[in-house]
Amino acid sequence: MSVVFVKKFLGLACVTSVLMSSAFAFEFEQDAALFSVEKIDQAMKRFVKAPHPMASFEQKKYTQELRANLSREGWDVQVQKFKTKIPNTASEKLGGKDKKATPVKEVEGENLIALSKGSDRCLVLIGGHYDTKPYANMKFVGANDGGSSTAAMLELARVVSVLRKAEASNRTVSNDAGRFLDCTVGLAFFDGEEATLADWNDGERLLGVQDNIHGSRAFAANLEKQFDGIAYKGLPIKALLIIDMIGHKEQNLFITRGSNSQLAQKLLAQRSTTKITSVNLLIEDDHLPFAQLGVPFVHIIDWTNLAEWHTANDTLDIISNKNIADFGDLLVRFLKQRR
């Protein structure tokens, strides 16, 4: 074998090795940019470990865990503390035994806001609540109602980080400028969506206090009005997706009334195996404070599988991690579209 031939052979082998390594790396990145059923399962199991209503010790502990997890994925994470008034169930007026307790008390809630910086001056927000409804005589862990959206958002944080790293390394750079993903992506974990009393409007009816969507109201109250729209930290919000109760094994998702039609159509175009439709149904949820400001939003919720809603049966038994993963992949496809 001649020296020249050996050099050519070794050169070809090196090129082949590099190409194979690049192909393997690309394939690995593509797989890593899909939602992991296993990771969703882990997130769900942590969420239902114990009830964690707003202002509880368990909620504050969980907030710190979420913050650490998101920071590990490279997100800029901030805890937004806020004061709010809720019904005081210890008071005699509300059936409690404390004669000195006032019917209304002030508590501190905590929103968790995570940002992944994009190249364009805009913001796409995905939000949902991470508190569980408080019950004195029932262990309510909110697997679907709170847990499913939280798990989806945590996994979205990982996937977006994978996409950011891949594009930074020039291996999967998109030529399609102006995508939602080119904006800064924000994840808003809202505290205190759940009402303290049994019914959503009991606080207002009995005490004149709005007892719901505490965290999203506090967040929206601090947004900025700019010439190019409502903004957070100077970034105009181009899209807001509020997700709630998305993980039922019989998943049937609704895009509710008031949602931005253009954003809704872009989502529906990516639905694949996820059952999701637009319906003329008005539901009160964390999107309301933003709707009042004129922020373009889409509200997504399953409002058909309600047998376990606000009962002790809202546990992992009714959850499909695969359904959550499929929905999460839909969100990723949405983010890759032109805005």
Amino acid 33: pLDDT: 80
Amino acid 169: pLDDT: 83
In this structure, the answer to whether residues 129 and 22 fall within a common structural domain is no
Residue 15 exposure: Cα atoms within 13 Å on the Cβ side: 6
Q: How many domains does the chain have?
A: 2
Amino acid 93: pLDDT: 94
In this structure, the answer to whether residues 173 and 207 fall within a common structural domain is yes
In this structure, the answer to whether residues 182 and 62 fall within a common structural domain is yes
In this structure, the answer to whether residues 6 and 131 fall within a common structural domain is no
In this structure, the answer to whether residues 82 and 23 fall within a common structural domain is no
State the average pLDDT for the chain.
Answer: 92
Amino acid 177: pLDDT: 67
Can you give the pTM of this predicted structure? 0.90
In this structure, the answer to whether residues 40 and 27 fall within a common structural domain is no
Residues in the chain, pLDDT under 70 = 1-31, 171-177
In this structure, the answer to whether residues 2 and 74 fall within a common structural domain is no
Task: Determine the Cα–Cα distance for residues 101 and 93; give it in Å rounded to an integer.
Answer: 9
In this structure, the answer to whether residues 16 and 60 fall within a common structural domain is no
Amino acid 15: pLDDT: 44
Contacts of 146 (CB under 8 A, 6+ apart): 47, 128, 129, 130, 131, 132, 193, 194
Task: Determine the Cα–Cα distance for residues 152 and 154; give it in Å rounded to an integer.
Answer: 6
In this structure, the answer to whether residues 15 and 121 fall within a common structural domain is no
Amino acid 23: pLDDT: 45
In this structure, the answer to whether residues 21 and 94 fall within a common structural domain is no
**CATH for 123:** 3.40.630.10
Domain that holds residue 198: 36-335
